[in-house]
Amino acid sequence: MISRMLSTALFCGFCVVAVSLGCDRAKGPAEVREDVSEAQQEANKQVADARRAATEQAAEARREVADEAKDLNQAQRDAGEKMMDANRDMAMARIEGEYKIAKERCEALTGDDQSACKATADAEFEMAKSRVESTFN
């Protein structure tokens, strides 16, 4: 019986201690307001920091896009110039080939006819070169 009473007393004592330690007591209104205020300030700071970081990241992304656009524009200009040079070279090769053919045909002629033929071929070649230069410059 004594051991039962002792057990019951210990159990009751344990319950009192557990209840007093385990249960949160309500905070006072001033303490609650202070905790809420601190939590709001921390949340606002976190939002401001995140907003600042997002703004910086967006600005960096815009700078990168602008740099890439400059690089792309330069690459397009370079490609355009290369195409123009290639077209000029092709046109010059064509008129030089036509000039050589015309001069070879002149070889079939003699005397003044040959001289006139070569002069015509030379004049046509110079006009064609001028057209190519004016077209591609």
Q: Considering the domain boundaries, does residue 9 fall inside one?
A: no
Q: Considering the domain boundaries, does residue 22 fall inside one?
A: no
Model pTM?
0.52
- What radius of gyration, in Å, describes the C-alpha atoms of the chain? 48
Q: Considering the domain boundaries, does residue 82 fall inside one?
A: yes
Both tokens assigned to 93: 């090769």
Burial string for 78-101 (b: 16+ CB within 10 Å, else e) reads eeeeeeeeeeeeebeeebeeebee
Q: Considering the domain boundaries, does residue 109 fall inside one?
A: yes
Q: Considering the domain boundaries, does residue 5 fall inside one?
A: no
Across the range 122-135, mean pLDDT stands at 95
Q: Nearest CA to 103 among 126, 131, 122?
A: 122
Q: How does pLDDT run across 77-107, given as a tens digit for each residue?
A: 999 999 999 999 999 999 999 999 999 999 9
Q: Mean pLDDT of all residues in the chain?
A: 84
pLDDT at 95: 95
pLDDT band (50, 70, 90) for residue 24? low
pLDDT reading at 126 higher than 90: yes
Q: How many domains does the chain have?
A: 1
pLDDT at 35: 87
pLDDT band (50, 70, 90) for residue 6? very low
Q: Considering the domain boundaries, does residue 7 fall inside one?
A: no
Across the range 17-29, mean pLDDT stands at 63
Expressed as residue numbers, the domain containing 94 is: 27-136
